[in-house]
Amino acid sequence: MRETVIWVGVGALAAVFGGLVGFGVVDAGLALLTMVLLVTVGVVAFRLRTLRDGSWLPQLVLGAYVVKLMGSAVRYSVLVYLYEGVGDATGYHGRGWRLAEIWSTFTVPTTELAGSASTRFVQQVTGLIYVPYRPSMLGGFFIFATLAFFGQLLLYAAYRRAEPDSRLKWYAAAVLFFPTLVFWPSSIGKESLMILLIGTGAYAVARLFDGYRLRWVLLFGAALAGATAIRVHIAVLLVASFSVTILLTRRPTGGGARVRRVAFMAAAMLSFVLVVTLAAERFDIDPGGSDLNPFLTELERRTQQGGSAVEGRPVTSLADVPAAIGRVLFRPYPTEAHNAQAVFSSLEGVALMALLIWRLPRMIRGLSSLRRRPYLMFSLFFTIGFVIVFSAVFNLGILARQRSQALPFVLALLVGLGWPQAPPGDHSERDESPLSKPRSR
């Protein structure tokens, strides 16, 4: 019955697109691209039926993907109609089109790139994506939204691997439907690619903590390489959080796993040094110096401009942490909202703050279990590092967009530590597939 309803819905959607194309409302290429993307995600969703706890997952994934495309369409409309096409996505789309035309002739482009190293990298990725099919800009939004959606699925898979309990539905709903994750990483640009890379890195981390198998090092390394090319400070947070977690979590019992753990500790430290060096070069910081004030002052100057700028100071002591948490994770507050986007962002921030305050006592009690739960410890250190790094940003518009990179880990802590488990008899059985097999305790 459920399959019949779903396929009737797909047929109705195809009929709607057909009518829109026939009346000239929607471009035929965009309609075809949308149907291809929906079918692709639908195949993945129905593959999830084979999981023993997957009875509810396909419908949730398909519903979340439709919501994601709607969020992408809203993001596109805001750019085109509210900001009159002035935005990074417009530049990425135009450059990507030109690069795709050059690459399709098997010619290496030499003069089509502009901007910083990370901007040029995203332009190249956009061009490669556009080579087989050069979409409209809304089509490009849908493609990048789909990449981010797969990153969200990987974040769920990472949590599922690490925390195989009755709270999976809560985390799946949170990471797939949270408004910031639906809206911001759904356009052509860095946010969508970063969610894909962060999801890939998180899944690799969850697998690495499960016995320290070497084959997942390559996946984590690929995620770090991509993150370094786009936002090197996020790569620093990923490898630093992983390194500290290895040091603090309980040692594995098997002799081979212990040896691999020591090897991973050494590799993580070397990776951390390498990524920090790259970050210092990117931001023109002296890695051997102890004074970061010039860098922080310049960052403050750049981000304390525009209508969304607020006063504050970066974290330099424990006394600065509470204000930084409020600014980085929750602001703007409703009293600071000056447009529709800020109003929605403020309501979301208030709701998240209320949930965290409500569950805070249980979360504090759960901290004692973190040594046995490395993924949640990893999430905690990533969140702390994110707050410290972005405490030097004072533009609430930038923070509302950038916090999408940390929210999956905040939600993992909220659900994993703050939500009670159901009674043992209510737990769903788990599958034994290589992709999503939960970690044995």
pLDDT tens per residue, range 162-207: 987 778 899 999 999 999 999 999 999 999 999 999 999 999 999 9
**Range with the poorest average pLDDT among 50-59, 188-197, 229-238, 242-251:** 50-59
pLDDT band at 435 (very low <50, low <70, confident <90, very high): very low
Q: Could you tell me if 311 and 414 lie in one domain?
A: yes
Q: Cα dihedral sign for 356, 359, 365, 370?
A: negative
Among 294, 186, 179, 295, smallest CA distance to 233 is for: 295
**Range with the poorest average pLDDT among 31-35, 40-44, 344-348, 397-401:** 31-35
Q: Which residues of 181-194 are buried (b: 16+ CB within 10 A; e: fewer)?
A: bbbbbbbbbbbbbb
How much is the pLDDT for 436? Answer: 47
Domain boundary among 234, 259, 285: 285
Burial class (CB in 10 A: 0-12, 13-18, 19+), 373: buried
Q: Could you tell me if 309 and 396 lie in one domain?
A: yes
How much is the pLDDT for 249? Answer: 82
Q: Has residue 218 got a pLDDT over 70?
A: yes
How much is the pLDDT for 188? Answer: 97
The residue-averaged pLDDT of 353-375 equals 93
**Range with the poorest average pLDDT among 62-71, 145-154, 270-279, 362-371:** 270-279
Q: What share of the chain is helix, strand, coil (3-state, %, to 5)?
A: 75, 0, 25
Q: Has residue 432 got a pLDDT over 50?
A: no
As a whole number, the mean pLDDT across the chain is 82
414 part of a folded domain: yes
* Amino acid in position 237: L
Q: Could you tell me if 314 and 388 lie in one domain?
A: yes
How much is the pLDDT for 423? Answer: 58
Q: Could you tell me if 308 and 256 lie in one domain?
A: no
pLDDT per position as a tens digit, 379-421: 999 999 999 999 988 889 899 999 999 999 999 999 999 988 7
- CA–CA separation, 201 vs 347, rounded Å? 30
Q: Could you tell me if 397 and 319 lie in one domain?
A: yes
85 part of a folded domain: no
40 part of a folded domain: no
* Amino acid in position 173: A
384 part of a folded domain: yes
Q: Could you tell me if 232 and 318 lie in one domain?
A: no
Can you list the alpha helix ranges (DSSP code H) found in 131-231?
137-162, 168-177, 179-183, 190-209, 215-230
Q: Has residue 114 got a pLDDT over 50?
A: yes
400 part of a folded domain: yes
357 part of a folded domain: yes
Report the number of distinct structural domains present in the chain.
2
**In degrees to the nearest 10, what's the CA dihedral of 330, 334, 338, 344?**
70
How much is the pLDDT for 213? Answer: 79
93 part of a folded domain: no
The residue-averaged pLDDT of 135-146 equals 94
Domain around 361 = 301-421
* Amino acid in position 367: L
Q: Could you tell me if 242 and 313 lie in one domain?
A: no
**Range with the poorest average pLDDT among 157-166, 186-195, 320-329:** 157-166
- CA–CA separation, 309 vs 301, rounded Å? 10
Between 214 and 140, the more confident residue is 140
Between 278 and 47, the more confident residue is 47
Q: Could you tell me if 327 and 219 lie in one domain?
A: no
Q: Could you tell me if 225 and 278 lie in one domain?
A: yes
Q: Could you tell me if 305 and 405 lie in one domain?
A: yes
Among 279, 399, 392, 380, smallest CA distance to 336 is for: 399
Q: Has residue 422 got a pLDDT over 50?
A: yes
Q: Cα dihedral sign for 15, 16, 21, 24?
A: positive
The residue-averaged pLDDT of 135-158 equals 95
233 part of a folded domain: yes
Q: How many residues does the chain have?
A: 441
Q: Could you tell me if 308 and 414 lie in one domain?
A: yes
pLDDT per position as a tens digit, 250-306: 665 555 666 666 666 666 667 666 666 666 666 555 555 555 455 455 455 555 555
Q: Could you tell me if 365 and 394 lie in one domain?
A: yes
Among 379, 376, 406, 351, smallest CA distance to 165 is for: 376
The residue-averaged pLDDT of 51-80 equals 87
User: Percent of the chain beyond pLDDT 90?
Assistant: 48
| Beta carbons of 91 and 120 less than 8 angstroms apart | no
> Which pTM value belongs to this model?
0.87
pLDDT band at 314 (very low <50, low <70, confident <90, very high): confident
- CA–CA separation, 137 vs 124, rounded Å? 16
pLDDT band at 212 (very low <50, low <70, confident <90, very high): confident
Among 212, 315, 301, 227, smallest CA distance to 265 is for: 212
Helix or strand (DSSP H, E) at 120:
helix 117-130
How much is the pLDDT for 71? Answer: 94
The residue-averaged pLDDT of 196-225 equals 90
Report helix, strand or coil for 164.
coil
CA distances from residue 74 to 27, 216, 244, 341, 428 in whole angstroms, order as listed = 17, 37, 39, 11, 36
Tokens representing 376? 């949640």
Q: Does the N-terminal peptide bond of residue 424 adopt cis geometry, omega within 30 degrees of 0?
A: no
Helix or strand (DSSP H, E) at 246:
helix 232-248
